[in-house]
Structure 1
Amino acid sequence: MRNSKWQQQFDLPPLFWLIALIALINSISFTIIIPLLYPYAQQFGLNDLQASLLTTAFALSQFFGTPVLGKLSDRLGRKYILVFSLAGTMIANLLASVANVAWLLYAARILDGLTGGNTSVASAVISDITTPSQRPKAFGIFGAIFRLGFVIGPVLSYLAQELPTLPGISPLGMSFLVSAAIAFFAALLTLLFLPETTAQQQDFSLKWDDFAFGKIAKSATRPRLGSLFILTFLTGSTFTIFTFAFQPFFLKVLNQTDQQLAIMFALVGILGFVSQIFALEPLSKRFNLINIIAVSLALRGITFLLMPSFPTYTAFVLILIIFGLVNAFPMPLIDTTISLNTNNQEQGEILGINSSFLSMANALGPVISGLLVSIDYTTPLWITGVLTILVAVFAYSLKSQFKCSKSTTAI
């Protein structure tokens, strides 16, 4: 009986767990460097705004690279595009680990961004192998497993800095080296064990249309899906403004240390993992997905406003716990809604376009945040809090267009 309940709870194809494992390893590789970028930038003599541009360089490059990789995965198959993407991450982090001038560090981030569309390709694999009724659960678990990397990555980042250094590589550079090794392992695992999942692969033909990024802008006006692309952009922009701004707020307003900052990253990762595993599936069964997105965004915005309202360490931790629990919901549910309203032949391309909107948001948010931080450390939190609540209102306005739940497809 207990085994039967377990099987019902996780009734997903075996191949899903392989792609989830690959995603976890990839997530660890990515999140190892998140706590490093700011101090590593200072090691190269970069100021706060220049440091934020490292994130922008990655995200902007990913904006251009992701739709191409998504389209190519529809044509050539998911497996080898995923291997190519992971190999790009490996090479980029190797380059960053040995960089001795700032432009080389920027080049590494650009390369990683151009080849960094592996999450959208992995999402397309999930769409290939799951039924519409399985997708909310699959994307929820996938997001939770990916988020688990946000727990493991920062911990490994600091452990890697304790390793004996190699010639020409600093302690921070050692973390990039470990990240490269993990990306290599993920690529090898994909190459050896992941079968191709696309039903019909097309002949290779790379046309200018694949690079027609004006089509991405036009996608914002696409019937039905366009509003979800806009929602992705707005959700990502407000979140990345917060992500960059909360670090100097935590370090300089609350007078905490880098090590405590890493603990905060791990705490958010743990809470997000738990909420996606245990809360997302029951909620998606009971409520419209758009309703969950709107409520979670509203709560996220409220936590942004509470942080500068109560600038103490204890209050910050309590508020961050609420943030960590609700922060896990918006993006996986937006991905699920898009997938449920897209035909199978376009899954890779559409999810790639959506990832590009997120990359565009990731490029814009840190720059805005960097400029606002120069005014005051609390200003970005106030602004992004109000904006996030407005995004929640926009999300709720889409309710009549997308009545998607676990048991429905496009309605």
Structure 2
Amino acid sequence: MVQDRRLLLIYAIIFFDVVVGSAVAPVLPAFVKGRFHPELWLALGTGLFLGVQLFSGPLLGKLSDGYGRRSIFIVSAVGTLLANCLLLPVRLGFYLVNRVSDGLTNGMYATVRSAITDISPPEKLFKNLGIEGSILSLGFVVGPGVAGLLLTVLDVTDAENQARVVILMAIILSTVNVVLSLLLRETKQTPPVPIDLSELKTEVGQAVDITTLWQRLARKDTASPGLKQLVLMQVALTMSTGYYFYFVTFVSFGSMQMDARQISYFFMYFGFLSVVINYVFYTYFADRINQRRAIVWLAALSVPVLAGYSFIGTSVVSLYVLVTIDCLTISLIQGLIEGLMAGHTTDADRGEIFGINQAMQGLASITTTVLFGGLSLLDLRLPFIWFALCVGAVAWLAWRGMKPKKQNALLR
């Protein structure tokens, strides 16, 4: 029963964290409005936000292995609150500083997955990590929904004032998350082990050193064969899901010219459908199927979906149809990979492995952000071709991983 309460509290913390981030997203164009190539400034902000996780993920993961998960949750919640306070002046400089500071604390998701794995029985691991994905989707719908409702009720139409209203709401919700984090009881089973400052410096140095990251991953793969293949799949998936961050730019400055309210409604639909589908899939199907084969099919079917976004023009109906198919395909892959990866961890190195994985994701995020930022300067539709190629790589890697029977048996 104690474990169930902790799990519910972790889900609540994730929920509020995502609500805050997704509520703020539709008003971010106000920070770059009037700038030369505003889409490039938004891409830069995204790159900063995701890129700093290259070292914050492994660092927070290492700290959580030594000092416990609870302290990382608290530090991250306080950091998110302070980062949102930076957005109150609707200015480009404050937006960029916010992206860096918020990205630092967003590295906690390695700790989130470690905490869920800590308290999940093996037979419920896929379900619990899948519910995490559903909670993320639920926050994804509630955030823009609350923001859109607030702007509608208050009848705020000016872009700068819309941003201020939504940021104030985000600050209030971030404060709630600080309280929830303080209420969380520790999930790590082993007692705290002090970490020397030199170890942390080494961790940060290794996190930004691609060669060292790869060597560490190779060592972990030697101890648990198949882990490296899963991390590579996660990297390719991260590159493809860069479109989540690109959507705001695409619908704001592309043919559709959506405002903050319209973007909020779009994400409401996207998130609501995603949470329902994720919940049903991970509750009733995920642990009864061949997960690798499912990843192959879901990723392969996602290729034409992502490519299709580049051909919708001004058709809102086409956008919503593609998003519906999206929720049935690529949106389900993340939890399957995480569930397979969790089986390669132990209580002693869980935070470290998820941290390495998040660092690799940070590297992938930097790469994909630079590429879609550059491609968007040529044509706002081109980035979706890149995203489609990346999800195709996920299908190929998953299919390739199914071939060696011994390795596949270990992964299952």
TM class by smaller structure? 0.7 to 0.9
The correspondence of residues 3-402 of structure 1 with structure 2, limited to 5 A, is 13-42=4-33, 47-98=38-89, 100=91, 102-161=92-151, 170-206=161-197, 207=199, 208-211=201-204, 212-213=206-207, 214=209, 215-219=212-216, 221-222=218-219, 223=221, 224-241=226-243, 243-244=245-246, 247-248=249-250, 252-254=254-256, 256-309=258-311, 311=313, 312-400=315-403
Which whole-Å CA distance do the structure 2 matches of 1:335 and 1:62 have between them?
18
Identify which range, 259-268 or 126-135, moves more after superposition: 259-268
Instruction: Label 1:344 to 1:57 Cα distance change in 2 as closer, same or farther (>3 A).
Output: same
Which whole-Å CA distance do the structure 1 matches of 2:228 and 2:127 have between them?
24
Deviation readout 1:51-70 (Å, 9 max, x if unpaired): 21001111111222111011
Contact kept? 1:78, 1:196, Cα under 8 Å: yes
Give the partner amino acid of 2:46: T
Contact kept? 1:404, 1:410, Cα under 8 Å: yes
- Aligned-CA RMSD value: 2.8
Which whole-Å CA distance do the structure 2 matches of 1:246 and 1:393 have between them?
29
SS at 1:378 equivalent: coil
Contact kept? 1:30, 1:153, Cα under 8 Å: yes
Instruction: Label 1:332 to 1:221 Cα distance change in 2 as closer, same or farther (>3 A).
Output: same
Q: How many aligned residue pairs are there?
A: 395
Give the partner amino acid of 1:297: A
Per the TM alignment, residue 194 of structure 1 is displaced from its structure 2 partner at its CA by 3.0
1:4 corresponds to? none
Per the TM alignment, residue 88 of structure 1 is displaced from its structure 2 partner at its CA by 0.6
Instruction: Label 1:34 to 1:255 Cα distance change in 2 as closer, same or farther (>3 A).
Output: closer
TM-score when scaled to structure 1?
Answer: 0.87
Deviation readout 1:285-311 (Å, 9 max, x if unpaired): 332211222222122212112333454
Identify which range, 256-265 or 368-377, moves more after superposition: 256-265
Contact kept? 1:220, 1:230, Cα under 8 Å: no
Q: Which has the higher helix share?
A: 2
Which whole-Å CA distance do the structure 1 matches of 2:407 and 2:328 have between them?
22
Which whole-Å CA distance do the structure 2 matches of 1:35 and 1:56 have between them?
17
Give the partner amino acid of 2:213: I
Deviation readout 1:215-261 (Å, 9 max, x if unpaired): 32434545222222221111111221464157425763345554333
Give the partner amino acid of 2:128: A
Which whole-Å CA distance do the structure 1 matches of 2:101 and 2:253 have between them?
30
Deviation readout 1:23-54 (Å, 9 max, x if unpaired): 11111112111222233222667622122100
TM-score when scaled to structure 2?
Answer: 0.87
Instruction: Label 1:402 to 1:300 Cα distance change in 2 as closer, same or farther (>3 A).
Output: farther
Per the TM alignment, residue 404 of structure 1 is displaced from its structure 2 partner at its CA by 10
SS at 1:203 equivalent: coil
Instruction: Label 1:67 to 1:83 Cα distance change in 2 as closer, same or farther (>3 A).
Output: same
Instruction: Label 1:386 to 1:133 Cα distance change in 2 as closer, same or farther (>3 A).
Output: same
Contact kept? 1:74, 1:346, Cα under 8 Å: yes
Which whole-Å CA distance do the structure 2 matches of 1:63 and 1:149 have between them?
24
Which whole-Å CA distance do the structure 2 matches of 1:285 and 1:134 have between them?
8
Contact kept? 1:340, 1:409, Cα under 8 Å: no
SS at 2:191 equivalent: coil
Identify which range, 24-33 or 78-87, moves more after superposition: 24-33
The percentage of aligned residue pairs carrying the same residue is 23
Which whole-Å CA distance do the structure 1 matches of 2:132 and 2:248 have between them?
26
Which whole-Å CA distance do the structure 2 matches of 1:92 and 1:310 have between them?
35
Which whole-Å CA distance do the structure 2 matches of 1:302 and 1:226 have between them?
27
Which whole-Å CA distance do the structure 1 matches of 2:12 and 2:368 have between them?
30
Per the TM alignment, residue 170 of structure 1 is displaced from its structure 2 partner at its CA by 4.1
Instruction: Label 1:377 to 1:281 Cα distance change in 2 as closer, same or farther (>3 A).
Output: same
Higher relative contact order (CA 8 A, sep 6+): 2
Deviation readout 1:74-126 (Å, 9 max, x if unpaired): 101111111001111110110122354x3332112111111222222121111
SS at 2:194 equivalent: coil
Give the partner amino acid of 2:93: W
Q: Which runs of 5+ in 2 are unaligned?
A: none
Which whole-Å CA distance do the structure 1 matches of 2:405 and 2:28 have between them?
38
Deviation readout 1:126-175 (Å, 9 max, x if unpaired): 1111122210000011110121000011122334556699xxx8430332
Instruction: Label 1:89 to 1:43 Cα distance change in 2 as closer, same or farther (>3 A).
Output: farther
Which whole-Å CA distance do the structure 1 matches of 2:312 and 2:85 have between them?
42
Contact kept? 1:271, 1:325, Cα under 8 Å: no
Which whole-Å CA distance do the structure 1 matches of 2:349 and 2:54 have between them?
18
Which whole-Å CA distance do the structure 2 matches of 1:309 and 1:44 have between them?
27
